[in-house]
Amino acid sequence: MLKLCVVLAFSIILFCVDAVDLEKRLECAKSSGCKFDTNRLAFFLIGDAGGCPFRQTTEPQLKVAESMSELHKSDPVDFIINLGDNFYADGVADVKDPRFQTMFENPYMKLDVPWYVIAGNHDYLGNVKAQIDYTKLSGKWTFPNYNYTLVIKFGNPEIKVVFIMTDSVRFCDPFMKLDVFTKLVQALQEKANVPESYKQAESEVSSWILSELEKHRDADYLFVTGHYPIYSGGYYKPSSCMINSIEDKLADYLFVTGHYPIYSGGYTKPSSCMINSIEDKLYEYNVTAYLSGHDHNLQHIMGSKNDKALHHVISGAGSRGDMSYDNEFRIDHNVVKFKFPVHGVHMDLFGLVNEGGFIKAEIDSEFVNFSFFDQSSVKHYDFKIPKRTKNDL
C-alpha cells in the first residue's frame, strides 16, 4: 500500500488516500493479466452509484457503502466492478472536479481495493476522458480505457477469470443515433477518441468484443460487462442491438460487463441494440454471465437458447432502488429469478423511499456464487454458476 496525495497546481492538498499501487492495478488490464495469491477470488458488483441528480450523495448510497465496507472487513474482497453512471446527473467536468472526492473517495474511503470502472449514459453528459485520466490520481479508481479486458488468475492449479469491460453507451445508446447528441458528446469529451458516428462506434465496439471473446475462449470464467442491460424486468426495454451483435465462446469463467442490461425485469426495456448485436455470440462463446447496471435494482435473469443458458446479473442500486416492473411483460416472467426491491415508489430519483443494494461474487475452482444484499447487508438471494469446461463449446 502506498500513501498517495493529490495536490493542485496552487499547492493546496486536495486529498490523501491509501493507494493500491497503480502499476499493480493496471497489470490486470494487460493482455498477460495479473495473479492473486488466493484460492478464492471475491469481488463486489455495484452500479449507478453516482448519487442523485443534484450532485449529492443519497442515504442509500452511504448505507450501501457502509455495508460493503463492513462485509469487506469481515470477509475481504479483492476488487470491485463499477458498472457506470458514476456521477449523476451529468458526469464530471475535469480531473479536478470536486465530485471525485464527494461522490467517490469520501463515501468509499474504507474500500481501498481496486475499483474497475466503466462509463454509463449519465457519465457521457460530462467528460468521460477525465474519468479515465483520474486513474492516475486515485489510489483505487481504475478506468484505463473506454473498453478494456481484465485477466485475473488465482489458485493452484491456476484458474483464469476474464472480464470484458465494454462501453455499451458508445455501442448501444439510443441517443447516439441522433447527430446532435453525438456532436454534444464530442464537444464534452475533451481530447477523447470519440467516434465520428453512431454506426462507427457500434462497429468498433462490436468488433472489439468479438475479438476479445475469441482471444479468451480458454478462460475458466468469462464475463462480459456493460452499463446497459440486454434484458430487464424493470423500466427499460430489451437491448436488441446487443442481443444481435454478441449474445454467444472458453476461459474458465468468462464475464461480459457493461452499464446497460440486455434484458431487465424492471424499468429498462430489453435492449434491441444489444439483442441484435451480441446475444448470439454470448451463447456461442458460453459466457458465464453478462453483468450490467442502468436499472436501479438488483436482478437475476436466466436466458436460454438451443439448450444453452446465459445468466444476466443486474446491479444498478448503488445509490437508490426502483421497484418498477414495466418490462417484465416483454420477457418470459419465469426467466426473472430475482428482483429487488419489489416494494416502494416508482422512480425514486433521490433515494428518499426505496432501498439500495449491491452484489458480492465469490469464485473458486468449481463455481462462482453471486449473493444479493440490500443496503443493510441483509442477503436476499444467491445462486451459483459452474466453471466453464471444454465440453461447453
pLDDT for 187 equals 60
| % of the chain exceeding 70 in pLDDT | 73
Cell of 283: 451463447
pLDDT for 95 equals 96
Q: In whole angstroms, what is the distance from residue 137 CA to residue 140 CA? A: 9
Closest to 360 (Cα-Cα) out of 83, 120, 140, 80: 80
pLDDT for 354 equals 79
**Number of other CB atoms surrounding residue 263 within 10 Å:** 40
Closest to 88 (Cα-Cα) out of 124, 46, 137: 124
pLDDT band for position 3 (50/70/90)?
very low
Task: Answer yes or no: is pLDDT of 362 > 60.
Answer: yes
Q: In whole angstroms, what is the distance from residue 372 CA to residue 365 CA? A: 21
Task: Answer yes or no: is pLDDT of 60 > 90.
Answer: yes
pLDDT for 1 equals 44
Region 320-344: mean pLDDT is 76
Candidate from 101-110, 119-128, 356-365 with smallest mean pLDDT: 119-128
Answer for the pair 131, 188: CB distance below 8 angstroms, yes or no: no
pLDDT band for position 182 (50/70/90)?
low
pTM (two decimals): 0.87
Task: Answer yes or no: is pLDDT of 23 > 60.
Answer: yes
Task: Answer yes or no: is pLDDT of 56 > 90.
Answer: no
pLDDT for 55 equals 74
Region 87-97: mean pLDDT is 93
Region 312-319: mean pLDDT is 95
pLDDT for 363 equals 99
pLDDT for 307 equals 87
Task: Answer yes or no: is pLDDT of 331 > 70.
Answer: no
pLDDT band for position 334 (50/70/90)?
confident
Q: What topology is assigned to 32-392 in CATH?
A: Purple Acid Phosphatase; chain A, domain 2 (3.60.21)
Domain boundaries, the chain: 32-392
Q: In whole angstroms, what is the distance from residue 213 CA to residue 121 CA? A: 24
pLDDT in tens, 128-144: 999 999 999 999 999 99
Rounded CA Rg of the chain:
19
pLDDT band for position 20 (50/70/90)?
confident
Task: Tell me the three state secondary structure of residue 89.
Answer: coil
Region 249-272: mean pLDDT is 62
pLDDT for 240 equals 59
pLDDT for 205 equals 82
The more confident residue out of 37 and 229 is 37
pLDDT band for position 384 (50/70/90)?
very high
